[in-house]
Amino acid sequence: MNSEKKTPQEELLEEVKNAENETADSSPETAGKDEAEEKVEAAEVKEEESKPSKDKKSRKKGESNVKKVLKSRRFKRGGMATIFTAVFVVVVILINVVVSLLSERFPSMNIDLTANQVNTLSDAAMEVAKEVENDTTIYILATGDWLDYANNQGVPYSSLISLSDKLAEANSKIKVEQVDLEKNPTFANKYADENLSNGYVVVETAKRYRVLTISDMFPTESNSQTGQSTSYNDVDSALATAIKQVNLSEVPVVSIATGHSEAMTDAFDSLTSFFNENAFDVQQFNILTEDIPENTQILFLATPMTDYTDDELKKLDAYLSDKENDKTRTLMVSAMPGQADLPNLMGFLEEWGISYDPTSVILESDSSRTFGNSALYLSDANTEDKIPDGDYSLLVTPYSVPVTRLFDANNSIVTYTLASTSEGSYLQKTDSEEDASETAEKKSYDTAVIARKSLDSSGMGAYANVIVLGSTYMLDPSTLTTSTFSNGTYFADLAKYATDTTETNNTVYSPRVEAGTKDMTATTNVINFLGLGVFTITIPVVILLVGLVVYIRRRHL
């Protein structure tokens, strides 16, 4: 009976033959062989597990079983699929991480999807960045939450971040830092006179710094006819101009004199900003108690309301006549109707061939040269003598006093008209309630005059200039900083002429685009969610889960 008992090998062979017979008509030959081989392998494993043996033999048989399992077709099929899935997931994750790191290191990799290309540096700005030789830091005074708030309010600070990073990418000398003024209040101490606030930008080198306000980067202009306001994105030109100017070896200095109840005191901040934008350093000083700052090329008396002392006039005279100073310098005085009587200062100006009448105001009878009822009167810039040289067709001189040239030339001093009104203008006394439009003489009146004196006999060296502006309001922020009028361009060119820096171009201009156009409305949180949450985490996890499901299903085939 024992002789009839079949060994496990014989039983397995018999099962294999039966399986082959059962599948011969319904399955391909290769499929039968694969299934038979799997059964043989399974039987061998089962037989090895059923044989009693000592520990040493069991370990050897266990190792043999492992080798057989690794060599089995089931393992090869399932294992390779699992390995492939795992490798694929790892590759996807690595690609996301690498792309994220590269986009931070090389911001230019980020595609600009905005219609106006506000996240792309202009060629002029890129050229400025490449020429930087001094360590330059761009401090952005804003937190992520504040930037999101600004973006939601239609002020696209995302372009500021993008362009700043691209400037830093273009030159390793340029660094970008975000400053939280609430967490770092001491930062503002260094710039105590600037009234720093969230949204401002400070561009600084060891030489000097420039502060960019929200209105510098995103100016708003009003249409005088429709009353509608339009915001613009000037980040590209504002950043590039600031970087260029803080890297200049030397810039002209404008010193604003105080101490005489100046009528323009409230406009000092806007004037400082304007001069800074046009590559001038600005200082304020009390002329009664302090000396005129060194290297001053424009000394500005901003509509003083009290007269100057003899000592102060001596300072003015020494400033203009200093022949050891090889730079052109200018005394600039603004005036307005109703200004106090200043006999000492007036006498000083008359020596230079200029006077003005603060008891009168110039009015315009030609309606084509006025803007509604706003008393914005056009003046004609003196283009004949090219002082300064440019197109200023919309130069306005509101509420100007008449400025008079006392002589054309005298004692090496030559006078020129800078701006004048039309032939339809007339004078109205400031203390009179009677309308003089019908009775007053109508003619052209000067609204700005310059007197020039060469400080060397050749006439090729430095000049001393005295400029009188009859309209304080021509320098008002509402007219000076808007492109509707020519005042900003005119005054910038006049300041360059007054310092003999006309040929120097330290301002970067780029095409102006509207800031209200919302090409992309995603906030920083949304961008982080998509970049980190979706592409870096969600998609790889989904792929991993799909791979696990495929693996488990194949394992149970």
Question: For the segment 374-393, what is each residue's pLDDT rounded down to a tens digit?
Answer: 678 888 888 777 888 888 98
Among 475, 451, 474, residue whose Cα is nearest residue 463: 451
Q: What angle do CA 12, 16, 17 make, to 5 degrees?
A: 120
Q: Quick one: average pLDDT of 215-232?
A: 73
Which amino acid, one-letter code, is at 273? S
Taking CA atoms, 84 is separated from 75, 76, 551, in Å, by: 14, 12, 10
Model pLDDT, residue 382: 81
> What is the biggest distance separating any 2 CA atoms in the chain, rounded to whole angstroms?
150
Q: Is residue 137 part of a domain?
A: no
Q: Is residue 217 part of a domain?
A: no
Q: Quick one: average pLDDT of 203-221?
A: 88
Output the DSSP codes for 37-75.
Answer: HHHHHHHHHHHHHHS---HHHHHHHHHHHHHHHHHSHHH
Q: Quick one: average pLDDT of 80-85?
A: 63
Task: State percent of the chain over pLDDT 90.
Answer: 42
Model pLDDT, residue 489: 92
Q: Is residue 246 part of a domain?
A: no
How many domains is the chain built from?
2
pLDDT, the chain, mean: 81
Q: Is residue 45 part of a domain?
A: yes
Task: Quote the CA–CA distance of 169 and 335 in Å, as a whole number.
Answer: 48
Domain-terminating residue out of 54, 71, 88:
71
Task: Quote the CA–CA distance of 475 and 482 in Å, as a whole number.
Answer: 11
**Strand residues in 98-188 grouped as ranges (E):** 136-140, 174-178
β pairing state of 296-301 and 253-258:
parallel
Task: Quote the CA–CA distance of 335 and 466 in Å, as a whole number.
Answer: 13
Residue 47 has pLDDT above 60, yes or no: no
Q: Is residue 298 part of a domain?
A: yes
pLDDT digits (tens, 9 = 90+) for 332-348: 999 999 999 999 999 99
Model pLDDT, residue 64: 66
pLDDT digits (tens, 9 = 90+) for 467-478: 999 999 999 988
3-state SS of the chain: helix, strand, coil percent to 5?
45, 20, 40
Using CB atoms within 10 A of its CB, is residue 311 exposed (0-12), middle (13-18) or buried (19+)?
A: exposed
Boundaries of domain holding 478: 253-358+400-420+446-500
Q: Is residue 121 part of a domain?
A: no
Model pLDDT, residue 153: 78
pLDDT digits (tens, 9 = 90+) for 130-158: 999 999 999 999 888 888 888 787 788 88
Model pLDDT, residue 538: 77
Q: Is residue 133 part of a domain?
A: no
Q: Is residue 474 part of a domain?
A: yes
